[in-house]
Amino acid sequence: MEIATSGQELRRMTKALKRPMVLVPTMGALHAGHLALIAKAREVAGPHGTTAVSIFVNPIQFDRASDLAAYPRPLEDDLRACEAAGADLVFAPDAASMYAPDRSVTVTESLLSRGLCGAARPGHFDGVCTVVLKLFLLSGCEAAVFGEKDFQQLAVIRRMVRDLDLPVEIVAHPTVREPDGLAMSSRNVRLSPEQRAAAPAIRRALLQVAETSSTAAEACATARAIIEASGHARIDYLEMVDAETLQPVERVTSPALLAAAVFYGDVRLIDHIRIEP
Ligand code: AMP
């Protein structure tokens, strides 16, 4: 497995690598969800292609300095995990090599990124689009794998690829969960034992609502009650949106998503469920 630590180095290395190259962008602290994305990338790359993983805690997508500072960075473990998962190349730059101190160009998606996490975390999706475009350009990947857990991110990136004619195929992978239903996240390790025990309530609430509720207001009230009853939770948002446009809906007349962002202490977790009409 090769390791590049600057964009220049990555560009040099990728010239000699076999195509197609499939990239898995991550912020590290890899868990089984990331590893499933790497396995998917291997499959898409085929027997002769290249699987690349980027590990970069992108400072410009964080809206809270405390979240950025507390983000776990176990790089040695991550490199071992990438190698074991069959990655051919890891790109692990530092922030100084990714961003000039006077950088002044940002990619903005202005529709799908307005609500949900975009509203709760100002500037977040500008940071995501900017870094993902840079990663695509530096790696020259033909395809990239993203998790459905971050469904708004996936929608925003697909829109960026469409609107900027980027020659990259976007491949989605379903959310990977802990046995108790909690969506795997690099932030889960920061939960206290009590918060960790309470957090599966998010998934339980979404599952229950998907089966029972008819209107968005009812669905959100039911989910809120279940999550709050389990304790330790502060709900950031609970919202029902159209699965395609991500605009709020009042009832499910076409495929919809019920999406939740919940704080446990300082740790913000997201999850969602798809609801068919
Ligand atoms: P992150 O390191 O959190 O930026 O995530 C990197 C990629 O892994 C993104 O495409 C995420 O959507 C994806 N991902 C994170 N957690 C999961 C999960 N539990 N299941 C599937 N994909 C995930």
% helix / strand / coil in the chain, to the nearest 5?
A: 45, 20, 35
Are residues 52 and 80 in contact, defined by beta-carbon separation less than 8 angstroms? no
pLDDT at 203 over 90: yes
- Strand (E) positions, the chain? 2-4, 21-26, 50-55, 89-91, 143-147, 169-173, 233-242, 256-264, 267-275
Q: Which of 174-183, 187-196, 205-214 has the lowest mean pLDDT?
A: 205-214
Q: How far apart are CA 39 and CA 34, in angstroms?
A: 9
Q: How far is CA 151 from CA 24, 80, 248, 266, 270, in A?
A: 16, 28, 15, 22, 10
Q: Is 175 in the pocket of ligand 1 (CB under 6 A)?
A: yes
Its sign, for the CA torsion 81, 84, 86, 92, is: positive
By alpha-carbon position, which residue is closest to atom 13 of ligand 1?
147
When pLDDT is averaged across residues 81-92 and rounded to a whole number, the result is 98
Q: Is 56 in the pocket of ligand 1 (CB under 6 A)?
A: no
Give residue 214's pLDDT band: very low, low, confident or very high (50, 70, 90). Answer: confident
> Which of 68, 90, 146, 271 should be mutated for ligand 1, with most atoms under 8 A from CB?
146
Q: How far apart are CA 261 and CA 256, in angstroms?
A: 16
Q: Is 31 a catalytic residue?
A: no
Give residue 213's pLDDT band: very low, low, confident or very high (50, 70, 90). Answer: confident
Q: Give the Å distance between the CA of 78 and the centre of ligand 1.
A: 14
What is the tens place of the pLDDT at every residue in 221-260?
999 999 999 999 999 999 999 999 999 999 999 999 999 9
Please give the DSSP secondary-structure letter assigned to residue 270: E
Q: How far apart are CA 52 and CA 36, in angstroms?
A: 14
What is the tens place of the pLDDT at every residue in 121-156?
999 999 999 999 999 999 999 999 999 999 999 999
Are residues 125 and 97 in contact, defined by beta-carbon separation less than 8 angstroms? no
Please give the DSSP secondary-structure letter assigned to residue 269: E
Ramachandran quadrant class, 173 (left: phi over 0; alpha: psi -120 to 50; beta: rest): beta
* pLDDT value of position 36: 98
Q: Would you say how long the chain is, in residues?
A: 277
Q: How far is CA 191 from CA 186, 232, 233, in A?
A: 10, 10, 11
